Amino acid sequence: MKTLVAISNEGLRELFWQEQVRSKLDRISDTDFVPIHETFTSERLAEVISGYDAVITSWGSPAFTPEVLANASRLQFIGHGAGSVVSIVKEDVFDTAVAVTSANRVLAQSTAECAVSLMLAGAWSLSGYNARLKQGHWSDNNRDTILGVTRRVIGLVGYGEISKQVIRLLKPFNVRILLHSSFCSIEEAEAAGVELCGLNELFEQSDIVSMHNTWTPRTEGMIGSQQLGRLRDGALFINTARGPIVQEEALLQELRQGRISAALDVYEQEPLPKEHELLTLPNALCLPHIGGYHGLLKRELCDFIVDELARLIKGEELLGRVTLDHYRRLTPR
């Protein structure tokens, strides 16, 4: 087995390839690393791919173009040390015998923790109380209350690895969870302890709504004034999925009224311009797309991929395998 690690970014190499991960890979494969800072293109990958059985990729790695696949006579495995594989492979890879896998289930744990953190921060008005305290204002025990999370109705839009982890993390709060998804059966919903419902119904009944579906042509702009206007007064809207899923102007209109609040990690335009209106609204908590930043979990992305390669060599099932059906539901970037 010979493996190419096609990750040339110095920061990612330092983060992912700790000594124990390198040693683990060396025990199962002869390994080459592309030079740090080299512009390693798809054209270059096409030139060298015939010498490798496996390729490990991450953010910024070259795409497996038809030319690459045409030369990949030995290739058995593409392991993506990140989330969506859409940036590196197209549907034609599924016409080959190459196994495609990703570390999405690891990254999902990080994003789920971020989403629940935003639920707690938003539901407890942490940024607002922090700002007012710094301005010299104390709380009013005779008047103040917060939304909170315990025993609230939480609406999740989309069902995948992230929302599965969110459901797990929310269990201790004794919440009622509503779910809108085309990819979750009634039996699976019952097993997870959630209630399937329509999109409008979810927005009407939830105290907190959290977005977890992928960004595709079908889901772009799916959340607009028709849904956001159904949120009850004081509700909290969370988005750690992708910004274009939500019609930003419709969200701004609701936030301007002060009727609801939002906690956001993703936006229609990224990086978010420093003069953007969202940054001026007291009822909008904004983060710079950090959902996948959990230190321990981020470091484990390529460790998971090395374990996947070991499973392939042993003839075991790949835990993060991407199928064509799954691929067609992935966020394009």
pLDDT tens digits for range 63-108: 999 999 999 999 999 999 999 999 999 999 999 999 999 999 999 9
Beta-strand ranges (E) seen in 34-157 are 54-57, 77-80, 99-102, 153-157
pLDDT of 151 above 70: yes
pLDDT in tens, 256-298: 999 999 999 999 999 999 999 999 999 999 999 999 999 999 9
Judge contact between 223 and 211, C-beta under 8 A.
yes
DSSP single-letter state for residue 105: H
Nearest partner of 239 among 271, 267, 261, judged by Cα: 267
Radius of gyration over alpha carbons of the chain, in Å?
Answer: 22
pLDDT tens digits, 24-62: 999 999 999 999 988 899 999 999 999 999 999 999 999
User: What residues does 33 pair with on adjacent strands?
Assistant: 5
Share of the chain above pLDDT 70, in %: 99
pLDDT in tens, 184-242: 999 999 999 999 999 999 999 999 999 999 998 899 999 999 999 999 999 999 999 99
CA distances from 188 to 155, 166, 173, 327 (A): 17, 15, 21, 21
Identify the CA nearest to 64 among candidates 95, 36, 27, 35. 95
What beta strand segments (E) does 233-303 contain? 236-239, 261-264, 284-286
CB 81 within 8 A of CB 57: yes
Nearest to 173 by CA among 155, 159, 192, 153: 153
> Comparing C-alpha atoms, which of 161, 111, 114, 189 is closest to residue 321?
161
What is the pTM (predicted TM-score) of this model? 0.92
